[in-house]
Every structure is written in C-alpha cells, then in structure tokens.
Amino acid sequence: MKDKIKIVVFGLGSMGSGIANMILNKKGFQIVGAIDMDPSKVGKKLYEVLGVEENEDNCCVVTNDANDVMKKGFAKVCIIATASFTKVVFPLIKMAAEAGMDVVTTAEEMSYPKALDKELSEEMDKIAKENNISILGTGVNPGFIMDLMVIMLTGVSESVDNINVTRINDLACFGKAVMVEQGIGLKEQEFIKGAKDDTVAGHVGFLQSFGMIEEAFGVKLNNIRQEKEPILTKVPRATEIVSVKEGNVVGCRQLGYADLGERLFITMDHPQQIKPELEDVETGDYININGVPKLNLQIKPEIPGGIATVAICVNMIPLVINSEPGLKTMLDLPIPRAIIGDVRDLVKDKK
C-alpha cells in the first residue's frame, strides 16, 4: 500500500475545518499540519478543534507559525482557506510552493486570478514550475456552477446566441464575515451607500467567471458591468448570527453582464439571502443557453454553497497532484469528480 497523502490545512474557519473533516472521512489522507491564528485553537490537537475522535491522521497540533509546517518534505498538498483575495493568499501560496507542496485554495479570486492580477498570476505560474508543483483555486462559485458548468453545457450547442445564469441561494448557514460582506441587517439606504463604496462587497466571483468563459471560448468579452441591489424583507428573518426587521436588508442581489461585440452575451443573476423560504422564494441554480438547441438546466434546491465548496476543494486534490506543474484553473484540469474509494488509487504520482 502506498503512503497516505499528507496534507497541511492553512485556516480552520468554516471552510477550512469543513475541508479538514471531509479529508479525514476519506481513505488515504493524513493531515500532518494545521495552521490558524485563532488563540482558542492554537496549541490544541486538530481532533480537539474539529470535535472528532483521535486517530493517527488527525493528531497534529494546531500552530500559528506557518514555519512549523511549511518545510520541504513535510506534506504533499497545502489547502489554503483563509481569505477571498489573490493578493492576500499569495504569500501563503508562495510559502507552500517553496516547501514543495501542491496548493488548493478556496480564495474566490484565485479561481481565475488572471482576471484581476495578471502579473501576480505569472509569478505564481513561475514559482509553481520552479518548485515542480501545481496551484489551483476552486469552489462552487466561482469555479463551478456559474462558469465551468455553463461552459460544459455549451459543449452540446451548435450555436449560442446568449447565456443567462441564475443562482438563488440561502446564506443562513454562513458566519458573520459573510453577513457583513453581503450587507445583511443594514437599512436600505445604508446598503446603497455600502454598495457604492464597496463596504458591501457582495459576491466575489463574476469577473473570475467571465474570465474563465473568455478563455474557454477564445473570445474577448466587453462592457463587463456589475450591479448590487438590496434584497429587502417583508417579514422578520433571523439566523444564529443576525436578526433582520421587516423592511431591512436580508441579502444582496448581484447582477453581472458581459457583451460579445455589440450585443449582450451573458447575464448573471445571483440573489443571495438568508432564509428565503420565509417569503416562499425557491432556491436553485439555473443555466439557460439560448441558441441551437435551447438548453434549460436547473438544480433545485441550489447546490449548497458551504458543503459544495468544501467538497470540490477536496475532490480536486488528486487531480492537482496529477497535474503538470504551474498555476492552473478548473479549465486546465480534468473534470471534477467525487472521491469514492481510496484517494491513493486516483493519484498517478509522476512528479
């Protein structure tokens, strides 16, 4: 039997701890390092932080000093689940790469980093190749439902006139950071001000999804524009994190548009809110390809954001290990798929 695949998890927040749990539930992985800055976690054994039973795969000590684990030969893969932005995760990616680890990150901008950080992307590609490793950003969105799946569905299209993609999802399971990013709990006017000055960030991902679509089709989209609208509630809505009175903001509807030549080619509509069921809003993912043939795909309820992002990050690990070195996107690698058996059977360790 081959050795277990050794993993370092950088970040044990909602996503990072979900990823750690999923990894530990699969055959063939071992988590050998865990990094987090939260003093309530540092110094504890990983299994304590995750609240699971101890075994040989989960008993590393959580550290706040990356140098403890970012060492040559320490692990095969580093998962980075700390932040959304390329510039913020770049130093961590560099550290992991230079320690010879493949990298998978949840950072939304990293799903297509060239969209905003061209030079940094070139640098990451260079670092990856110098260290003979691969780097991938992924997640459910961006990274899967509003880009990869859209591209793939057009594979059966003779011609495409335009594309509409809608993702109506529930944010109730997310933590405080997401509530703030989406402006949840604000009054309408506060949201409008925050949307303007970007303190209400909304969804990070449309520019990355458009970038991936441009590359897939070999075209240049233009007049790319985005809007953020408050979703106001008619009834009180509350989660464990936030309580919203009627009339106030329970979510952010993000809209994105891109033209091809003179005409509108892609419309993305992404209303995210807490407890949509309280106003009978049905969640779902919808992809409409208008062309020959007309294609209407739906996934109802929506692919759940939290679980699915955790899952795709873990599922991509063997494909990232098998990849040739470099900065990669979901377009470059084989299609994602679940890890059903022992992950070691999926690894063709050629590198």
Contacting residues for 257 by C-beta, under 8 A, at least 6 apart: 223, 224, 225, 226, 264, 266, 267, 268
Q: Which of 81, 216, 244, 252 binds a second copy (CB under 8 A)?
A: 216
**Which residue is associated with the tokens 């933590």?**
175
**Which residue is associated with the tokens 């690990």?**
317
Q: Which of 12, 311, 321, 327 binds a second copy (CB under 8 A)?
A: 311
Q: Does 27 bind a second copy (CB under 8 A)?
A: no
Q: Which of 13, 175, 326, 336 binds a second copy (CB under 8 A)?
A: 336
Q: Smallest distance, Å, CB 341 to a second copy? A: 5
In our burial notation (b when 16+ CB lie closer than 10 A, e otherwise), range 332-341 reads ebeebeebee
Task: Give the C-alpha separation, 195 to 330, whole Å.
Answer: 30
Q: Smallest distance, Å, CB 327 to a second copy? A: 16
Q: Does 308 bind a second copy (CB under 8 A)?
A: yes
Q: Does 223 bind a second copy (CB under 8 A)?
A: no
**Structure tokens that stand for 187 in this block:** 């009054």
**Segment 97 to 156, residues that bind a second copy, using CB under 8 A:** 140, 144-145, 148-149, 151-152, 154-156
Binding segment for a second copy among 79-87, 123-131, 197-205, 337-345 (CB under 8 A)? 337-345
Q: Does 298 bind a second copy (CB under 8 A)?
A: yes
CB atoms within 10 A of CB 159: 10
**Which residue is associated with the tokens 């969209």?**
115
Nearer Cβ to a second copy (224/297): 297
Q: Smallest distance, Å, CB 299 to a second copy? A: 5
Q: Does 303 bind a second copy (CB under 8 A)?
A: yes
Nearer Cβ to a second copy (9/242): 9
Nearer Cβ to a second copy (57/285): 285
Nearer Cβ to a second copy (160/238): 160
User: How long a stretch of residues is the chain?
Assistant: 351
Nearer Cβ to a second copy (230/325): 325
Q: Does 293 bind a second copy (CB under 8 A)?
A: yes
In our burial notation (b when 16+ CB lie closer than 10 A, e otherwise), range 259-297 reads ebeeeebbebbbbbbbbbebeebebebbbbbeeeeebee
Nearer Cβ to a second copy (196/294): 294
Q: Does 3 bind a second copy (CB under 8 A)?
A: no
Q: Which of 53, 197, 335, 350 binds a second copy (CB under 8 A)?
A: 335
Task: Give the C-alpha separation, 141 to 112, whole Å.
Answer: 11
Q: Could you tell me what percentage of the chain is helix, strand and coil, using 3-state DSSP and rounding each to the nearest 5?
A: 35, 30, 40
CB atoms within 10 A of CB 2: 11
Taking every pair of C-alpha atoms in the chain, what is the biggest distance, in angstroms?
61
Q: Which residues bind a second copy (CB under 8 A)?
A: 22, 25, 140, 144-145, 148-149, 151-152, 154-160, 216-219, 260, 291-293, 295-301, 303-304, 307-308, 310-312, 314-316, 331-332, 334-338, 340-342, 345-346
